[in-house]
Structure 1
Amino acid sequence: MRTVELLCSAELDAAVRAGWHRLTAVGLPSLDRNTHPTNRPHLTLAAVDEFPPGAVARLAALLDDALPLPVRLGEVAVLDGSAPLVWLVRPDPELVALHRAVWAALADADGRSPWHAPGRWQPHLSLALRFRDADAGLAHAVLRAEPRAGAFVAARSYDSATRTVTPLGRAGPPTC
């Protein structure tokens, strides 16, 4: 699988990581425990089996034009009742337009994830991958003071087969 991900500004990245750490400190699941060097806060726009020919150049061009992109965070939520704990990202028109453009750039890709399809995609920053709805109240209390705005400043692709990342577009912050 290959993804298209937006990376947070240094300030937003630090705020999300601080949230991960606070969740861990109170005994809740958190991505703070994932020590793989590619683990960092990000927003996934698309996931496909492989990029079709020419897709990387198309993606790089549209991402370079769109970034940096201001972002506003919404509520903390447990998706589907017993799955990831996330910070919802408000789908501003610019973010929705970028998402649709990425989806169109990957129109020829095999194995496009239906979770990322326009109309179904729920933009978010992950806080924990396995989370019980019953713990949501404590998570809300722990994360209440976090900032609610920031920016996406760079993009990358994660390759699940090799567990590596590749920058998409002009160089941004280190992507591991």
Structure 2
Amino acid sequence: MRTVELLCSPELEEAVRAAWDRLAAAGLPSLARNTHATNRPHLTLASVDEFPPGAEQRLADLCDAALPLPARLDRVEVLDGSAPLVWLVRPAPQLVALHGAVWDVLATAPGPQPWHAPGRWVPHLSLALRFRDADRRRARALAGADRPRGEFIAARSYDSETRTVSELASTCPRS
């Protein structure tokens, strides 16, 4: 599987990581416990089995042109009742436009994941996986009392086969 993900500005990433830490400290599921080097707050725009030929460069060009994008977090929710605990992202018009453009590039990609597709996509930053809806009220109090703002400043792709990421775009100076 290959993804297209947006990464948060430092202040937004710090707010999400602080929520991860509060959840973990309270004994609730949290992505703070995921110690893999690629684990960091991100918004997934698309997920497919593999990129079609030439798609990675086209995605990089799209993201380079679109970033940075404003980001404002909204309420904390449990998706589908007993699945991920997420912090919803208010879908700014620029974000919705980039999402659609990414899917245009991936139109011929095999194995598109339907929950990221236009019309079904719920923009969010994950806080925990396999979360019980019964703990939602407690999690909201711990994780989502504020409505942080920031930007999406970089794009990457995660490759589930190699468990690695590759940079697609960044508004940060490249070294």
Q: Same fold (TM over 0.5)?
A: yes
Instruction: Give the paired residue count.
Output: 174
Matches of 2:129 and 2:8, distance apart in 1? 19
Matches of 2:33 and 2:19, distance apart in 1? 12
Identity score, percent: 71
Matches of 1:16 and 1:94, distance apart in 2? 22
CA offset digits 1:93-143 (Å, max 9, x no partner): 111100000000111111111111101000000000110010011111112
CA offset digits 1:125-175 (Å, max 9, x no partner): 00001100100111111124444211100000000001000000257489x
Long gaps (5+) in structure 1:
none
Matches of 1:110 and 1:43, distance apart in 2? 21
CA contact (8 A) 1:6 1:154 kept: yes
TM-score by length of 1: 0.95
Matches of 2:142 and 2:17, distance apart in 1? 13
CA contact (8 A) 1:76 1:140 kept: yes
Question: What is the match of residue 14 of structure 1?
Answer: 14
Matches of 1:49 and 1:87, distance apart in 2? 26
CA-based RMSD of the aligned residues comes to 1.5
Q: What is the Cα deviation at residue 72 of structure 1?
A: 1.1
Matches of 2:173 and 2:5, distance apart in 1? 13
CA contact (8 A) 1:30 1:128 kept: yes
Matches of 1:86 and 1:58, distance apart in 2? 29
Question: What is the match of residue 51 of structure 1?
Answer: 51
TM-score by length of 2: 0.95
Instruction: Describe how 1:155-166 pairs up with structure 2 within 5 A.
Output: 155-166=155-166
Question: What is the match of residue 68 of structure 1?
Answer: 68
Matches of 2:72 and 2:146, distance apart in 1? 12
Question: What is the match of residue 131 of structure 2?
Answer: 131
Amino acid at match of 1:6: L
Matches of 1:170 and 1:19, distance apart in 2? 25
Matches of 2:128 and 2:103, distance apart in 1? 26
Question: What is the match of residue 29 of structure 1?
Answer: 29
Matches of 1:99 and 1:146, distance apart in 2? 25
